[in-house]
Amino acid sequence: MNIWVKPYTKRDGSVMFYINNDRGVSLGISKEAGYQSSKASKGQQNLWHAFCEAARNADVIATGADMANHDEAGFVMFNGIGFAVTDVATVGGVSTGSDGLFIVVGGNVVKSRFSA
């Protein structure tokens, strides 16, 4: 299964992140609402678990990121997985080598596409 994350900027300027898979399942999360498992379908719950596992095991492109120092759109979930958008090729104070959306797990920066 392939999993990817895409950012979406709402009209009020806040950012949501949509986790998608190649089976047609999509799960939206935001800093304000987070991930609400009680409102998620079984497919969305499975996608969330697969995403978390894939993010923790993904190839690391940078280390030492501190989401508290990230000054662009992003947030950290209850389980320590962070989402960060950059247009200056840095996430949490470390270089990513390119702009875009990145996932941060325990200070490690990974890309936002996975095979699970």
- Considering the entire predicted model, what is its pTM? 0.89
Reported as a pLDDT band with limits 50, 70 and 90, residue 50 is very high
> So what's the pLDDT on residue 49?
94
C-alpha torsion angle, residues 72, 78, 80, 83 (rounded to 10): -30
79 vs 21: which has the higher pLDDT: 21
> So what's the pLDDT on residue 107?
94
N residues, the chain: 116
Cβ 49 vs Cβ 35: under 8 Å: no
Helix (H, G, I), strand (E, B) or coil at 16: strand
CA angle, residues 106, 57, 6, in degrees to nearest 5: 80
